Amino acid sequence: MNLADLAALFPIIVIAAASVIVLLIMAFYRSHKLTVILTLAGLVISFMMLLAEASRLPRQVTPLIILDRYAFFFMGLIIAASFFVAVLSYGYLKARPGRRDEYYVLLLIATLGSAVLAASSHFVSFFLGLELLSVSLYSLIAYQRSDERGNEAGLKYLVLAAASSSFLLFGMALVYTQMGTMQFALIAERAAASASSLLLLAGLALIIVGIGFKLALVPFHMWTPDVYEGAPAPVGAFIATVSKGAVFALLLRYFTRLSFHDFPVVFIVFTSIAIASMFIGNLLALAQNNVKRILAYSSIAHLGYVLIAFLAGGAMAVTAASYYLAAYFATIMGAFGIISMLSTSERDADALDEYRGLAWHRPWLAGMFTLVLLSLAGIPLTAGFSGKFFVITAGAGSSLWMLLVALAISSSIGIYYYLRIITVLYAPPIPAGQGLPAARPLLSLAGGVALAVLALLLIWLGVSPAQLLGLIKATASQLIY
């Protein structure tokens, strides 16, 4: 490594340094407000470093890390989403008893692991980033120790994540045995010559199982609704956005250069997973009366949609998938932000009946929630519509007609439960004392500003997608392996 390599790593180094600084200050002086300020400052500085170092890309920093525009784009998404999670977490935790400072250390470490995943070019950095993310999430999910649902969710995620890591490690070992390397670039170069190798196919199958768990794809999705329901609302937002976005960024980098023509079995497996995720995610959401569980099953379906762009292959796959994930980040962050705003010190506001008549009491929040739900449904003039349009374009360009038919049918099913929530929002108000309590002033400023910014993003990405699309195309064209 030289100084230029070190400078390119500054965005990652700043996040790591921020977690250490927060931890050291906690040892001498505990202040929730100071901890939040330091956390947000670290994330802002890291984001600014991304902009400052963008002109020096691409750069391979040891065989483990590749810093190109693709990595920086996803790192920017990850850092921005973590910033919003930290803002929402401040008011959410302030209303609850117990120590709060450790939460932000875990959040920064999870963000660090996600950033490493987005820049990984080697199995070692892949696994280290994944474990940094996963181990932090165990504690974040069960952070409220007095919450039985949170403890149960944390234990489930711990057991299943450990199992999925075992699959990943075994798969990596098999691929290494066959290919003689753990670098993504060299694996891609040598894969065609070993396309019929049982060791390579078995290794890829085990890696797909591990990644399928992290992305909550069918049939590896069973943990998702329980973890979303038990985790604190801001942590649910982090899992749905940062955690999945980082893993999908690595999936794109790892598989995009591999030709599915050489691995038809892998293509069939991903196609089956995509179709199953779209239908099962939307069908199971129909029976739910818990908003968090609805969002959990909805996220399964949305990752199925993104897989269509992934299977399309080429630069268009990276462009469509990246845009869809950016739109999904803003949308799902808004949904969990509203849940955080309405939650009390006793419990999260996740029961559907608690939202009945919300428009009559808090019309701004009801309007924001309506915008989020319309975006999730893919209604025009929202970010979700633009994202789904680019996914369909990528799929049509590669003649993935069966997948597109599945998307159309499953999306129609999804519209029903999104409209069901909207109907509840605008239903006649329920008697006084039976609905949600008055909004907490601690959340009204920070959370309100965050939600307002997300609302503008949802409209901007839906009405004028050209700017972000141009940026994503530039990153896709310079994607190196």
Task: Give the pLDDT of residue 82.
Answer: 93
Pairing outcome for strands 65-67 and 59-61: antiparallel
Specify the amino acid at residue 355: Y
Q: At what angle do helices 184-191 and 148-179 cross, to 10 degrees?
A: 50
Task: Give the pLDDT of residue 440.
Answer: 41
Q: How many CB atoms lie within 10 A of CB 363?
A: 12
Which residues in 415-433 are b (16+ Cβ under 10 Å) and which e? bebbebbbebbeeeebeee
Does residue 60 sit in helix, strand or coil? strand
60: left (phi over 0), alpha (psi -120 to 50) or beta: beta
Q: Are 237 and 85 in contact (CB under 8 A)?
A: yes
Tokens for 124, please give them: 């070692």
Tens-binned pLDDT, residue by residue, of the chain (481 aa)? 778 778 888 999 999 999 999 999 988 888 888 999 999 999 999 999 988 887 777 788 888 888 888 888 999 999 999 999 999 888 888 877 777 888 999 999 999 999 999 989 889 999 999 999 999 998 899 888 877 888 888 888 888 888 888 999 999 999 898 888 888 888 878 877 776 788 888 888 899 999 999 898 988 888 889 999 888 889 999 999 999 999 998 888 887 777 666 678 888 999 999 999 999 999 999 988 899 999 999 999 999 999 998 888 777 788 889 999 999 999 999 999 898 888 877 778 888 888 888 888 888 888 999 999 999 998 988 898 999 999 999 888 888 899 999 999 999 998 999 999 999 988 887 665 555 444 443 445 777 888 889 999 999 988 888 888 888 887 776 665 4
Tokens for 8, please give them: 């390119």
| Helix boundaries (H) for 29-68 | 32-53
Tokens for 217, please give them: 């794809």
Tokens for 93, please give them: 């935790």
Beta bridge partners of 59: 67
292: left (phi over 0), alpha (psi -120 to 50) or beta: alpha
Q: Are 392 and 290 in contact (CB under 8 A)?
A: no
Q: Are 371 and 334 in contact (CB under 8 A)?
A: yes
DSSP conformation letters of 353-368: GGGTTHHHH-HHHHHH
CA atoms of 251 and 35, how far apart (whole Å) = 34
Question: What is the torsional sign of CA 222, 226, 232, 234?
Answer: positive
Give the closest residue to 298 by CA, choosing from 163, 421, 200.
421
Q: Are 405 and 271 in contact (CB under 8 A)?
A: no
Task: Give the pLDDT of residue 439.
Answer: 44
Kindly list the distances between the CA atom of residue 46 and the CA atoms of 14, 24, 32, 238, 425, in Å, as whole numbers in the listed order. 6, 19, 21, 18, 38
Specify the amino acid at residue 252: L
Q: Are 245 and 216 in contact (CB under 8 A)?
A: no
Question: pTM, whole model, 2 decimals?
Answer: 0.91
Q: Are 150 and 156 in contact (CB under 8 A)?
A: no
* DSSP secondary structure letter of residue 122: B
Q: Are 178 and 249 in contact (CB under 8 A)?
A: no
| For residue 441, cis peptide bond before it (omega within 30 degrees of 0) | no
Task: Give the pLDDT of residue 477.
Answer: 67
Beta bridge partners of 60: 66
CA atoms of 379 and 285, how far apart (whole Å) = 19
Give the closest residue to 33 by CA, choosing from 445, 455, 403.
445
CA atoms of 474 and 69, how far apart (whole Å) = 8
Task: Give the pLDDT of residue 354.
Answer: 83
Tokens for 422, please give them: 């909207």
